[in-house]
């Protein structure tokens, strides 16, 4: 059993996305899985050119010479694949978007219609990993994830994590509050349940999305933090 997360945060190993992914993968390892977290910011992944060479000139293979073939192999050999991202401009980061666009060689150019009236491309492969999503946002509230959710649902995810007030895990607040400790425990449990083969329980999902801090407290802490950062920058001239 292999669980791989492709982390699209520009902050990489110092990201709140990583702080969420780490306990989730820890739980997966406890259940017997092999795990890996790939930090896309550390890899050479060029933008898709839209040339469709992977459909015509070299079917199933991208014409761009970078690290994507290695990552494609890792994607395909995994049983579960996680897409990890903070919310930037109401959607996934450019890093993760470039990665997902470069998965185009896995599809063929032929267009099909779903029963619900939506459209898709035929897949080139028979075995596709099961997908889950790990997202966080620096804003309070839930609406910030709407665009990402609209994309992720098309992938029939086995687990969706949408963590608002994400900066409370890092620069804002204390990382050892009871609510945050409970959040990390719930993530470990989700990793164990996912690898066990069954759906992650509703109770575990509820624990993952429980409030970490009130909106008012979070906003006050965030604004105070940035006031201090601005003053520090100004004092350094």
Q: What confidence category does residue 186 fall into, taking pLDDT thresholds of 50, 70 and 90?
A: very high
> Are the beta carbons of 187 and 180 closer than 8 angstroms?
no
* 128: its two tokens: 């596709």
Structure letter (DSSP) for residue 176: T
Q: Do residues 51 and 58 make contact, with C-beta atoms less than 8 angstroms apart?
A: no
Kindly report the number of other CB atoms within 10 A of residue 199's CB atom: 12
Share of the chain above pLDDT 70, in %: 98
* CA separation for the pair 40, 28 (Å, rounded): 21
* CA 147 and chain centroid, separation: 14
Model pLDDT for residues 20-56, shown as the tens digit of each residue: 999 999 999 999 999 999 999 999 999 999 999 999 9
Query: Rounded to whole angstroms, what are the CA distances from 192 to 26, 48, 79, 134?
Result: 8, 35, 14, 16
Mean pLDDT, the chain, whole residue set: 94
Say what the pLDDT of residue 170 is.
Answer: 75
Quick one: 2-235 is in which CATH superfamily? Flavodoxin domain (3.40.50.360)
* Residue 198 confidence class, pLDDT cut points 50, 70, 90: confident
29, 37 contact by CB (below 8 A): no
Q: Is 115 exposed, middle or buried (0-12, 13-18, 19+ CB in 10 A)?
A: exposed
- The pTM (predicted TM-score) of the whole model is 0.94
Specify the pLDDT at position 197: 87
Question: How far apart are the C-alpha atoms of 32 and 17, rounded to whole Å?
Answer: 23
| Residue range 107-157, pLDDT digits in tens | 999 999 999 999 999 999 888 999 999 999 999 999 999 999 999 999 999
Q: Domain segments of the chain: what residues? A: 2-235
Output the pLDDT for position 232: 93
Could you give the CA distance from residue 181 to residue 120 in angstroms, rounded to a whole number? 41
- DSSP alpha helices (H): ranges in 3-108? 16-30, 68-77, 94-101
- Cβ(94)–Cβ(88) below 8 Å: yes
């Amino acid at each position: 059993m292999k669980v791989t997360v492709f982390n699209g945060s520009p902050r990489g190993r110092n990201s709140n996305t990583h702080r969420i992914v780490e306990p989730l993968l820890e739980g997966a390892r406890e259940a017997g899985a092999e795990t890996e977290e790939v930090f896309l910011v550390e890899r050479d992944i060029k933008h898709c050119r839209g040339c469709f060479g992977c459909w015509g000139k070299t079917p199933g293979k991208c014409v761009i010479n970078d690290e994507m073939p290695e990552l494609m192999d890792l994607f395909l050999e995994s049983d579960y694949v996680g897409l990890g991202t903070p919310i930037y401009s109401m959607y996934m980061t450019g890093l993760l978007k470039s990665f997902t666009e470069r998965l185009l060689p896995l599809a063929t150019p032929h267009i099909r219609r779903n029963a619900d009236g939506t459209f898709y491309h035929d897949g080139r492969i028979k075995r596709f990993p099961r997908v889950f999503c790990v997202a966080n946002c620096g804003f309070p509230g839930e609406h910030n994830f709407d665009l990402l959710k609209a994309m992720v649902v098309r992938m029939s995810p086995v687990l969706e994590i949408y963590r608002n007030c994400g900066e409370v895990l890092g620069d804002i607040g204390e990382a050892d509050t009871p609510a945050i400790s409970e959040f990390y425990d719930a993530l470990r449990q989700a990793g164990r349940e996912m690898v066990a083969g069954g759906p992650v329980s509703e109770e575990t999902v509820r624990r993952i999305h429980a409030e970490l801090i009130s909106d008012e407290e979070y906003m006050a802490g965030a604004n105070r933090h940035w006031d201090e950062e601005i003053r520090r920058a100004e004092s350094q001239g």
